[in-house]
Structure 1
Amino acid sequence: MAQNRFHSGSGPSQRQLRVGELIRHTLSDVLLRGDVHDPDLNRYSITVGEVRTSPDLKVATAYVLPLGGKGAEEALAALRRNAGELRHLVAKAMTLKYAPQLRFVLDETFDRMDDTRRLLNEDRVRRDVEHDDEGGDED
């Protein structure tokens, strides 16, 4: 039953997930090795947190962040400038019928985690969580 719901468009297919992870791994390797002929891009250590693909696998959106988050906008601009070369390098390492168009966006996962951590450390939230923990044994 869950399988029918999954394939009805409520989330990515297994193939999208597999291809996205393969692109993420390959793109990470390309960036780590400094294969791109752009010194501006090669001066950044860029983490590729996730890659999401379109249902037809023709567009891949990479969520990236430079190490430490410093120079994020400049790194993003360098990635976008070199998207064609990166696409070629990723396609060369993979066996897909079509090389996906690469799009790059900043990965805000760490910012959201910090916001959540900060929220959970607020006194009023901590009191509520502690209160729930104390009453949890009654169930």
Structure 2
Amino acid sequence: MAKNKFHDGPGPSQRQLRVGELIRRTLSEVLQRGDIHDPDLNRLSISVGEVRTSPDLKIATAYVMPLGGQGSEQVVELLARNRNELRRMIGKVTNLKYTPDLRFRLDETFDQLDETRRLFDQDDVRRDLED
């Protein structure tokens, strides 16, 4: 069985989930308020869908998507360019002993949902589901 990026182990611990959600909310708030000193980044509306942390909590990967999905590659570059400032701001707001290094990836779950909907709308799949 091929490994999936979502299921290649026992899953995240409760601590990883808690820290990931704390970082996700904080990052969303910082981006929404436009607290970053980069006008290019402040101009954009960015959705933070999920933040996954490494088991040792040293790395946090944020899955992001710009509103409307336009310029997604540019968003990842802008966030990466400002990651140290974002990390400092997250560290100020949260009470984490160590603020993880931030990484940014495109959130592709919306594309996967669209593909799933498309598959379910196919006549042969709908017919199989009704049986």
Q: Structure 1-normalised TM-score?
A: 0.87
Which residue identity lines up with residue 40 of structure 1 in the other structure? Answer: D
Query: How many residues align structurally?
Result: 123
Q: Distance in 1 between matches of 2:17 and 2:98?
A: 16
Structure 1 counterpart of 2:4: none
> 1:1-139 alignment to 2 at 5 Å?
10-131=10-131
Q: Distance in 1 between matches of 2:92 and 2:61?
A: 18
Deviation of 1:72 (Å): 0.5
Deviation of 1:62 (Å): 0.3
Which residue identity lines up with residue 78 of structure 1 in the other structure? Answer: L
Structure label with greater radius of gyration: 1
RMSD (Å), alpha carbons? 0.7
Please state which structure has a larger fraction of its residues in helix.
1
Q: Percent identity?
A: 69
Unaligned runs of 5+ in 2: 1-8
Unaligned runs of 5+ in 1: 1-8, 132-139
Deviation of 1:130 (Å): 1.2
- Runs of 4 or more consecutive aligned structure 1 residues displaced over 6 Å after TM superposition: none
Listed one character per residue, the Cα deviations across residues 46-85 of structure 1 (whole Å, up to 9, x for unaligned) are: 0000000011111000000000101111111100100010
Report the 3-state secondary structure (helix = DSSP H, G, I; strand = E; otherwise coil) of the residue aligned with 1:37. Answer: coil
Report the 3-state secondary structure (helix = DSSP H, G, I; strand = E; otherwise coil) of the residue aligned with 2:57. Answer: coil
Which residue identity lines up with residue 59 of structure 1 in the other structure? Answer: I
Deviation of 1:97 (Å): 1.1
Q: Distance in 1 between matches of 2:121 and 2:55?
A: 39
Report the 3-state secondary structure (helix = DSSP H, G, I; strand = E; otherwise coil) of the residue aligned with 2:36. Answer: coil
Q: Distance in 1 between matches of 2:123 and 2:44?
A: 39
Q: Distance in 1 between matches of 2:18 and 2:99?
A: 15
Structure 2 counterpart of 1:3: none
Report the 3-state secondary structure (helix = DSSP H, G, I; strand = E; otherwise coil) of the residue aligned with 2:29. Answer: helix
Deviation of 1:99 (Å): 1.2
